[in-house]
Amino acid sequence: MMEAVQAVRDRALRATAALAQAGIPHAMAGGNAVAAWVARVDRAAVRNTQDVDILVRRSDLPAITATLEAAGFVQATAMDVVCFIDGPNGSPRDAVHLLFAAEKVRESYLLPTPDVTECVAADDYTVVTLEALVVMKLNSFRDKDRTHLRDFIAIGLIDASWLPRLVPEHAARLQQLIDDPDG
């Protein structure tokens, strides 16, 4: 288990360091961004994740590809997601997945992803802002996204004061989690 957790961390650090060194704007999203935000409040509440989600601009894809391939990753596409598998024997399940800034991840999503400028420095890499991450989680609202949002609620990062900032559909989703945290 420890090796699996460390492998994800190493993959995230290697990918973000390569992108930063190449001067390519990016921000960590997904479970690693959630972990970075949760760790600011309660390190014991951090959950592990199996993949690495990085927000980038589509226009940077050629430079991203060259940079990540030079760092040992292999470009692939899995379920319509551009990803970079960790070496020729890697798996899409434990790859670096790209999310494109200012685009909808799925057509059914209410809002597009934020721009890479909506980011802050974390301990190890740049992460999307808490507000951008909350909107991304409310947008997808899968079981793991609801779990991440419940974690934010439980440690006091988000609460009912956020409701007026959100589009009505997202406010309703957040209210649902506030009202029934065990879900």
85: in domain: yes
Quickly state the pLDDT bin for 125 (edges 50, 70, 90).
very high
Q: What is the mean pLDDT of the chain?
A: 95
169: in domain: no
CATH number for the domain including 102?
A: 3.30.460.40
Strand spans (E) along the chain: 26-29, 52-56, 73-78, 81-86, 96-100, 119-121, 126-128
pLDDT at position 1 is 81
Task: Please tell me the total count of domains within the chain.
Answer: 1
pLDDT at position 71 is 97
45: in domain: yes
Which residue's entry shows tokens 């980038």?
56
Mean pLDDT of 45-73: 96
β partners of residue 26: 56
pLDDT at position 121 is 96
Residues of the domain holding 116: 2-129
H-helix or E-strand spanning residue 17: helix 2-21
100: in domain: yes
Q: How many CA atoms lie within 13 A of 171 on its CB side?
A: 9
14: in domain: yes
Mean pLDDT of 94-110: 95
122: in domain: yes
171: in domain: no
Sign of CA dihedral 165, 166, 171, 173: negative
Give the least confident one: 52-61, 72-81, 128-137, 161-170: 72-81
38: in domain: yes
- Of 63, 89, 95, nearest to 77 by C-alpha is 95
β partners of residue 5: none
Mean pLDDT of 121-125: 94
Mean pLDDT of 141-161: 97
